[in-house]
Chain A
Amino acid sequence: MVGISACQGCSRGAPVLDGVLEVLECELAQRPETVVLYADALPEGLRPLISIDAERVINVGIAETTLASLAGGLASTGLRPVVLGLAPFLASRAYSQIRQDVALGCLGVTFIGLAGGATLADMGPTHCTLDDVGLMGLQPSVELAVARDSSSAAALLRHLLAIEGTGYLRVEASRAGAHQDAPFGGTQRLRDGDDATVIVTGAVTSDAVHAADELGAVGIKTGVVSVLKLRPLDPEPLQTALSAGPVLIVEEHVAHGGLAALIRGALPEASGAVIGHLTPSAYSSPTSFSPNDFRVDADTIRRGVLDLLAHPNHTRP
């Protein structure tokens, strides 16, 4: 099920936004310095915000560069802006403004990239976002997070609003069978298994869990580690996974600047581990415009684990 509708008239359900809405409603009610900005693209699930406070929920129009600079200016007066932007357009359109007017000054601004990853793949490649984490991560001061469901979106947003500096949260559509019950942490082990481990971020996590369960049914014990905070990374669960056996990193993001790149950059032990990296096939076939080429699904993950186990550098115990 696609969970975020970005356009007026689209009504495809928005469970993942429930967490965002809950936190922002609370923030607006309790913290007078909170200001919510958006560039005319507000999913149905977040429309209740408009009626909360007309002064502090501000539509800047279809103007992402103004959106980012305005947030920097507001933050410099002591306000706490939360910027809601469609992920396909936010970082790519306003990168210079995010860099110069917010991140270089480490200002307290939280950017939320809505409808990230393949959420809007049905609308074509212009609306797919496979590069937002990498773009935002180019600024070393920016904390990075990717929600996998409604509860993690809420927890991550609360965390980013509590830090002094700049944060980015990617929000994607929830998928069927999303895991809402695990306690919040930067990194969580959702399945145990030491034949292989899938390290995964985003809504595709539920597909990874499904794939691990299928592999387990045929005797391949596959662990699943869910990464919610991509910078700073929580190293311990990742180090454990990397030392245990082959690892498949799964993300709906290009290789540059995504989860795999951040892990390789932060953890030296990653260089010696057997690592596979699964990203949407659109990345390797740039002329492809099929929506499915921008997604990773459970079957692809299952096959990815099997391919990894067949890797000549891997010897199963």
Chain B
Amino acid sequence: MAPIVRSGAQGALSDTVTLDPDDLARAVRKRVLTMTRHDVPSHLVSALSTIEILAAVYGAFVDLKSIQRRSPDRDRVVLSKGHAALALYATLVECGVTSSDSISDYGPGARNATVHPLCGRLAGVEATSGSLGHGVALGAGMALGARLRSFGSRTIVILGDGELQEGSIWEAALLAAHRALSQLFVIVDLNGLQQTGAVQDIAGLEPLADKWKAFGWHVEQVDGHDTSALAGALRRSDPTPKPVVLLARTVKGRGVPSMEGKDGWHFRVPGVLEGSARA
């Protein structure tokens, strides 16, 4: 399956990479479903809810060339909800940052495409993640480092909503606002479900926007499957003096009707994907 962005002769992206985030999302969803294996705990539904978020970030916000080159002053994307690694790998391939060959080992025992991301293996995988609740502090360090080094780059952290139950998120949120880390962008994938049920039934988050505002963040609320809205909110927030959080309402399992918004699929992979994935 050819990625939608084709790299040059040495695998380098061309100088003018332009992507339609909707095209990117469609290609990523197809690749995610193709890569899903029955012997891998892929967290498929968590990956599916994140795809448009990744498509908006990679397709319309960050500088892909510097990410591919691993330039010190690159934009950095931290997938704090590491269980959605499948979506990250598929995105990196489809936008040309890495090759499909490089993630062909996806699964247990992989060197590159580990079930949860390991930093340093693939261009674009900026953080090791799996244990939840680390991303905001790690991203704050990246944003602070970029400021100290006068890079002008941005750090984007993608969180799950159940992950917000980790206290370390709020510890770091406090510091990021105090330090006015305006180049730190957090996107919360609000799919409403966690491993054992609905977030609101386990440890509810609402009023979530008020909580982030109270911590000193600039808050935007968007449809997490609308790439234009996501990209617009990121660009609109770019000049604010505060760290930014996008609360992105999503549907867990988006694109596979039999799994959409249903509890119980967190770890499961269907025997046969019922129906075809919605493009």
Chain A residues close to B by CB (< 8 Å): 35, 55-56, 58, 60-61, 63, 65-66, 68-79, 96-97, 99-101, 104-105
Question: Using a CB-CB cutoff of 8 Å, which residues 73-94 of chain B contact chain A?
Answer: 76
The reply to whether A69 and B168 form a contact with Cβ atoms under 8 Å apart is yes
A26 to B162, CA, bound (A): 44
Given contacts A100-B130, A105-B119, 7 further A-B contacts (CB under 8 A): A66-B171, A72-B138, A75-B145, A77-B146, A100-B134, A101-B127, A101-B134
CB distance from A65 to the nearest CB of B (A): 5
The reply to whether A69 and B128 form a contact with Cβ atoms under 8 Å apart is no
A78 to B118, CA, bound (A): 18
The reply to whether A101 and B128 form a contact with Cβ atoms under 8 Å apart is yes
The reply to whether A78 and B141 form a contact with Cβ atoms under 8 Å apart is no
CB distance from B140 to the nearest CB of A (A): 6
CB distance from B272 to the nearest CB of A (A): 36
The reply to whether B139 and A63 form a contact with Cβ atoms under 8 Å apart is no
The reply to whether A79 and B171 form a contact with Cβ atoms under 8 Å apart is no
The reply to whether B145 and A77 form a contact with Cβ atoms under 8 Å apart is yes
The reply to whether B138 and A77 form a contact with Cβ atoms under 8 Å apart is no
The reply to whether A77 and B142 form a contact with Cβ atoms under 8 Å apart is yes
The reply to whether A63 and B144 form a contact with Cβ atoms under 8 Å apart is no
Q: How many residues belonging to B are interface residues under a CB distance threshold of 8 Å?
A: 32
CB distance from B118 to the nearest CB of A (A): 7
Question: Using a CB-CB cutoff of 8 Å, which residues 145-195 of chain B contact chain A?
Answer: 145-146, 148-149, 151, 155, 168, 171-172, 174-175, 178
The reply to whether A97 and B168 form a contact with Cβ atoms under 8 Å apart is yes
The reply to whether A73 and B175 form a contact with Cβ atoms under 8 Å apart is no
Question: Using a CB-CB cutoff of 8 Å, which residues 85-138 of chain B contact chain A?
Answer: 118-120, 126-131, 134, 137-138
Known contacts A35-B148, A78-B145, A78-B149: A63-B171 contact under CB 8 Å: yes
* A/B interface sample: 10 pairs, CB < 8 A: A61-B175, A66-B171, A72-B138, A73-B137, A73-B145, A74-B142, A75-B145, A77-B142, A100-B128, A104-B119
CB distance from A10 to the nearest CB of B (A): 26
CB distance from B167 to the nearest CB of A (A): 8
The reply to whether A96 and B119 form a contact with Cβ atoms under 8 Å apart is no
Known contacts A63-B171, A100-B128: A76-B134 contact under CB 8 Å: no
Q: Which of A63, A73, A105 contacts B141 (CB 8 A)?
A: A73
Q: Is B11 at the interface (CB under 8 A from chain A)?
A: no
A65 to B170, CA, bound (A): 11
The reply to whether B118 and A104 form a contact with Cβ atoms under 8 Å apart is yes
A78 to B168, CA, bound (A): 24
The reply to whether A70 and B141 form a contact with Cβ atoms under 8 Å apart is yes
Query: Which residues of chain A have C-beta atoms less than 8 A from B264's C-beta?
Result: none
Q: Which of A55, A65, A74, A99 contacts B168 (CB 8 A)?
A: A65
Query: Which residues of chain B have C-beta atoms less than 8 A from A35's C-beta?
Result: 145, 148
Q: Is B241 at the interface (CB under 8 A from chain A)?
A: no
A75 to B146, CA, bound (A): 11
**Residue of B72, B151, B175, B178 most packed against chain A (CB within 10 A):** B175
CB distance from B109 to the nearest CB of A (A): 16
Known contacts A35-B148, A96-B131, A97-B134: A74-B141 contact under CB 8 Å: yes
Chain A: CB-nearest residue to B130:
A100
A76 to B128, CA, bound (A): 12
A316 to B151, CA, bound (A): 67
Chain B: CB-nearest residue to A78:
B72
Chain B: CB-nearest residue to A37:
B141
The reply to whether B149 and A77 form a contact with Cβ atoms under 8 Å apart is yes
Query: Which residues of chain A have C-beta atoms less than 8 A from B140's C-beta?
Result: 66, 69-70, 73
The reply to whether B119 and A73 form a contact with Cβ atoms under 8 Å apart is no
Query: Which residues of chain B have C-beta atoms less than 8 A from A76's C-beta?
Result: 76, 119, 126-127, 141-142, 145
9 tightest CB-CB pairs across the interface, nearest first? Answer: A73-B141, A77-B145, A69-B137, A70-B141, A73-B142, A74-B145, A66-B137, A74-B141, A65-B168
Chain B: CB-nearest residue to A77:
B145
The reply to whether A71 and B141 form a contact with Cβ atoms under 8 Å apart is yes
**Residue of B142, B143, B178 most packed against chain A (CB within 10 A):** B142
Known contacts A66-B168, A69-B172, A100-B131: A56-B137 contact under CB 8 Å: no
Query: Which residues of chain A have C-beta atoms less than 8 A from B171's C-beta?
Result: 63, 65-66
A57 to B130, CA, bound (A): 30
Query: Which residues of chain B have C-beta atoms less than 8 A from A73's C-beta?
Result: 137-145, 155
The reply to whether B151 and A77 form a contact with Cβ atoms under 8 Å apart is yes
CB distance from A41 to the nearest CB of B (A): 16
The reply to whether B175 and A69 form a contact with Cβ atoms under 8 Å apart is no
CB distance from A39 to the nearest CB of B (A): 10
**Residue of B138, B140, B146 most packed against chain A (CB within 10 A):** B138
Query: Which residues of chain A have C-beta atoms less than 8 A from B142's C-beta?
Result: 73-74, 76-77
A265 to B120, CA, bound (A): 29
CB distance from A77 to the nearest CB of B (A): 3
A230 to B187, CA, bound (A): 42
Query: Which residues of chain B have C-beta atoms less than 8 A from A74's C-beta?
Result: 141-142, 144-145, 148
A79 to B151, CA, bound (A): 12
The reply to whether A70 and B119 form a contact with Cβ atoms under 8 Å apart is no
